[in-house]
């Protein structure tokens, strides 16, 4: 059924939604996309499939790998201090070779020097951060117990609740919202000794992949200021890439940690659904949202996950699966590790830039060189994942933010408003049918992991597109940016599997390429070990964007 303009306006009026000519034309096109995606779902008979969300958080997978000593970089002077990794900085602070105040001031100096060009921060709490650093230094002097992140300056996406501080979610509509309590992950960072610098820019309501924010301005890519940083956690990734913080927190609903990590050449980890608490995090889509770290190295990601992970009674999706010592499991080669490479979906030449594909193939050779065995795997149902993600996200996001749409819709950015409107037109039976398809997708991944220990794919089909672009060219064909950038990442939100994006060993047009690794549920240990082995062999994580040296 075609959604005629007059029918659209009639339905919009009933829902008290904007329904002008411009909206009518836009949604005529969008509704045709819904019908096309629905036809895709109908290709297979799924009526007997029970609806399901993600992998059940009840079981764990044993991990291999022995302990590894933490490496520490030499003490550095001046602005170079800001470029330290979390692991190195924490070690220097614990040995009293680096002052937390000195470190925080160095990062604040970096923000003064180049922060405006990147536009990573919405709010910077400089004075509060210095005071926290002084308290951390006093604790060192008086030999108080120290946490693993003692005195280390981090920043968080402006989606996490901090008591007494505005949480905008990147929208002026929420600029007066002030939480009364900290999110669980904020509390855990503070308990670990972290110094929080401020609130990072994001795509409005975390509902987009470009981080072109109409209220707070776009986040710019530090590798090329005319390119997007990716989203929705664009400030979190760009800030880490140019050392405006040593690491950050992001959220990931369709790729929003891994997409900007790939665009900005840093590490982005989406843990298993239920591994990290979401209590006190403004939701976008309940069954798809994940919380995770964005860091300069895999070693830092392991350390941050160690701090963040664990059961939280205040999050009903939180898992009781024990948290292993991730950092101690890094090191060694990949001998005996089976790396699955899905054929078709991730390598279709009409869906991926040839330069990106060549870079990923080169990365697989590196993994082979450190002992991994490469096996091709078949995942025919994976082609339905974009449609399943589309319906799930649109419905849940509109259910969650529908009140904003109805009360202050005209104040929202046009792209976000239209996505929320779209969800209002999706019928409940269609959402249920979508979850049936989702169950089938979960089963396909379960089957694949009988033949592979982890999967390796590109993170993105392309490198970071230009700011302001609505489409990107692949093999001469223009494709819409939103579905293109989420094509390879969103299946892991649907299934809840852990996934990490690390910088690939090659660049395309001077821009980073992301390599995505996917693990079994709650087997972040194997995932991190493999990513670390690749990182050490390729040494790609030592590269920094040109802006770092300017």
| Torsion sign, CA atoms 464, 467, 472, 474 | negative
Cα–Cα distance measured from residue 226 to residue 228, given in angstroms and rounded to the nearest whole number? 7
Confidence at residue 62, expressed as pLDDT on a 0 to 100 scale: 36
Helix (H) / strand (E) element for 478: namely strand 477-480
Triad 473, 25, 350: Cα angle to 5°: 20
Put the strands of the sheet holding 153-157 in their side by side order: 121-124, 195-200, 153-157, 248-252, 290-295, 267-270, 499-508, 511-519, 454-458, 338-342, 373-377
Candidates 238, 450, 503; CA nearest to 338 is 450
Q: How confident is the model at residue 68 (pLDDT cuts 50, 70, 90)?
A: very low
Q: How far apart are CA 524 and CA 394, in angstroms?
A: 29
Going by their DSSP bridges, the two strands 511-519 and 454-458 should be labelled as antiparallel
Q: How far apart are CA 550 and CA 547, in angstroms?
A: 5
Q: What is the predicted pLDDT for the residue at 63?
A: 37
Q: What are phi and psi of 134, to 5 degrees?
A: -65, -40
Q: Do 265 and 302 contact (CB within 8 A), yes or no?
A: no
- Give 542's pLDDT tier (boundaries 50, 70, 90): confident
Residue 60 has pLDDT above 80, yes or no: no
Determine the Cα–Cα distance for residues 425 and 35; give it in Å rounded to an integer: 12
Higher pLDDT, 75 or 147: 147
Q: Are 65 and 446 in contact (CB under 8 A)?
A: no
Any idea what the CATH number is for the domain that residue 289 is in?
Answer: 3.90.1300.10
Report helix, strand or coil for 432: helix
3-state secondary structure of 54: coil
pLDDT at 43: 60
Question: Tell me: the pLDDT tens digits for 189-235?
Answer: 999 999 999 999 999 999 999 999 999 999 999 999 999 999 999 99
**pLDDT (0 to 100) of residue 409:** 93
pTM value? 0.90
Cis peptide upstream of residue 232 (ω within 30 degrees of 0): yes
Structure confidence at residue 506 (pLDDT): 73
* 327/304 Cα distance (integer angstroms): 9
Structural domains in the chain (count): 1
Lowest mean pLDDT among 161-165, 426-430, 464-468: 426-430
Contact 475, 349 (CB under 8 A): yes
pLDDT score recorded for residue 67: 28
Residue 276, strand partner residues: 309
Predicted confidence (pLDDT) at residue 16 exceeds the cutoff of 60:
no
Residue 7 located in a structural domain: no
Q: Cα–chain-centroid distance for residue 220?
A: 17
Model pLDDT for residues 395-450, shown as the tens digit of each residue? 999 999 999 999 999 999 999 999 999 898 888 988 999 999 999 999 999 999 99
302-319 pLDDT tens trace: 999 999 999 999 999 999
Active site positions, annotated:
157, 232, 256
Residue 59 within a domain: no
Q: Is the pLDDT of residue 78 over 70?
A: no
In angstroms, rounded to a whole number, what is the distance separating the alpha carbons of residues 515 and 39?
Answer: 31
Closest CA to 455 of 359, 331, 325, 364: 364
What is the number of H-type helices and E-type strands within the chain?
Answer: 16, 15
Other residues' Cβ atoms within 10 Å of the Cβ of residue 271: 27
Q: Assess whether pLDDT exceeds 70 at residue 181.
A: yes
Characterize the bridge pairing of strands 338-342 and 454-458.
parallel
Distances (CA, A) of 283 to 172, 212, 307: 17, 20, 21
Tell me the pLDDT tens digit for each residue of 523-534. 999 999 999 999
Domain housing 147 = 78-324+333-383+441-549
The pLDDT confidence band at residue 5, using thresholds 50, 70 and 90, is low
Is 26 or 130 the better-scoring residue by pLDDT?
Answer: 130
Q: Is residue 288 part of a domain?
A: yes
Q: Where are the alpha helices (DSSP H) in 230-331?
A: 234-241, 258-264, 298-308
Q: How far apart are CA 443 and CA 301, in angstroms?
A: 28
Structural domain contains residue 27:
no
For residue 366, being part of any structural domain is answered with yes
Query: pLDDT digits over 35-49, tens only?
Result: 665 666 566 544 445
pLDDT reported for residue 541: 75
- Poorest-confidence range of 5-19, 267-281, 336-350? 5-19
User: What secondary structure letter does DSSP report for 457?
Assistant: E
Run of H or E residues at 406: helix 385-408
Of all residues in the chain, what percent carry a pLDDT higher than 90?
A: 80
Q: What was the pLDDT predicted at 310?
A: 98
Among 47-61, 280-294, 324-338, 506-520, whose mean pLDDT is lowest? 47-61
Q: Give residue for tokens 């798809």.
A: 288
In this prediction, residues 86-109 reach a mean pLDDT of 97
* 24 within domain boundaries: no
**pLDDT at position 505, please?**
74
DSSP-assigned beta bridge partners for residue 340: 375, 455
d(CA 474, CA 492) in angstroms, rounded, equals: 23
Residue 303 makes CB contacts below 8 A (sequence gap 6+) with 86, 87, 90, 148, 149, 326, 327
Question: For all residues of the chain together, what is the average pLDDT?
Answer: 89
Question: What are the C-alpha distances in Å from 485 to residues 260, 294, 472, 480, 537?
Answer: 10, 18, 10, 9, 27
* Residue 28 or 245, more confident: 245
Predicted confidence at residue 18, as pLDDT, reads 55
248 in Cβ contact with 294 (< 8 Å): yes
């Amino acid at each position: 059924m075609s959604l005629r303009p007059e029918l659209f306006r009639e339905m919009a009026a009933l829902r008290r939604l904007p329904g002008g000519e411009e909206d009518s034309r836009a949604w005529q096109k969008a509704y045709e996309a819904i019908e096309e995606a629905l036809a895709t779902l109908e290709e297979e008979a799924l009526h007997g499939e029970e609806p399901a969300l993600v992998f059940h958080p009840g079981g764990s997978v044993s991990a291999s790998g022995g302990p590894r000593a933490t490496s520490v970089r030499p003490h550095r002077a001046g602005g170079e201090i800001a470029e330290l990794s979390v692991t190195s900085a924490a070690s220097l602070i614990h040995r009293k070779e680096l002052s937390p105040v000195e470190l925080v001031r160095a990062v604040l100096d970096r923000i003064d020097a180049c922060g405006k060009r990147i536009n990573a921060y919405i709010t910077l709490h400089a004075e509060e951060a210095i005071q926290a650093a002084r308290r951390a230094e006093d604790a060192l002097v008086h030999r108080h117990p120290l946490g693993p992140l003692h005195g280390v300056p981090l920043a968080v996406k402006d989606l996490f609740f901090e008591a007494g501080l505005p949480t905008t979610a990147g929208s002026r509509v929420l600029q007066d919202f002030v939480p009364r309590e900290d999110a669980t992950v904020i509390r855990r960072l503070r308990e670990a000794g972290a110094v929080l610098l401020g609130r990072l820019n994001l795509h409005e309501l975390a509902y987009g992949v470009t981080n072109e924010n109409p209220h707070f301005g776009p986040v710019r890519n530090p590798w090329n200021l005319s390119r997007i940083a990716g989203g929705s956690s664009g400030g979190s990734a760009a800030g880490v890439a140019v050392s405006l913080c040593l690491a950050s927190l992001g959220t990931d609903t369709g790729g929003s940690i891994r997409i900007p990590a790939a665009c900005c050449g840093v590490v982005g980890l989406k843990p298993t659904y239920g591994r990290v608490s979401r209590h006190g995090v403004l939701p976008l889509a309940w069954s798809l949202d994940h919380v995770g770290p964005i860091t300069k190295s895999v070693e830092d990601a392991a350390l941050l996950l160690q701090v963040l992970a664990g059961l939280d009674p205040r999050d009903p999706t939180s898992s009781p699966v024990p948290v292993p010592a991730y950092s101690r499991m890094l090191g060694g080669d990949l001998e005996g590790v089976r790396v699955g490479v899905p054929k078709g979906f991730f390598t279709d030449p009409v869906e991926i830039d040839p330069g990106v594909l060549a870079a990923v193939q080169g990365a697989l050779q590196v993994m082979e060189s450190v002992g991994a065995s490469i096996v091709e795997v078949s995942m025919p149902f994976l082609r339905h994942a974009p449609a399943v993600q589309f319906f799930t996200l649109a419905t849940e996001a509109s259910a969650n933010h529908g009140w904003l749409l109805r009360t202050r819709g005209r104040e929202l950015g046009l792209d976000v408003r239209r996505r929320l409107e779209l969800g209002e037109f999706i019928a409940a039976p269609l959402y249920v049918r979508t979850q049936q398809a989702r169950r089938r997708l979960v089963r396909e991944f379960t089957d694949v992991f009988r033949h592979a220990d982890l999967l390796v794919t590109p993170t993105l089909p392309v490198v970071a597109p230009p700011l302001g672009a609505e489409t990107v060219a692949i093999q001469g064909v223009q494709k819409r940016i939103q579905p293109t950038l989420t094509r390879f990442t969103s299946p892991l939100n649907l299934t809840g599997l852990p996934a990490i994006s690390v910088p690939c060993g090659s660049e395309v047009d001077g821009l980073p390429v992301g390599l995505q690794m996917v693990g079994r549920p709650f087997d972040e240990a194997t995932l991190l070990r493999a990513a670390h082995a690749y990182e050490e062999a390729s040494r790609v994580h030592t590269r920094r964007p040109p802006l770092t040296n300017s």
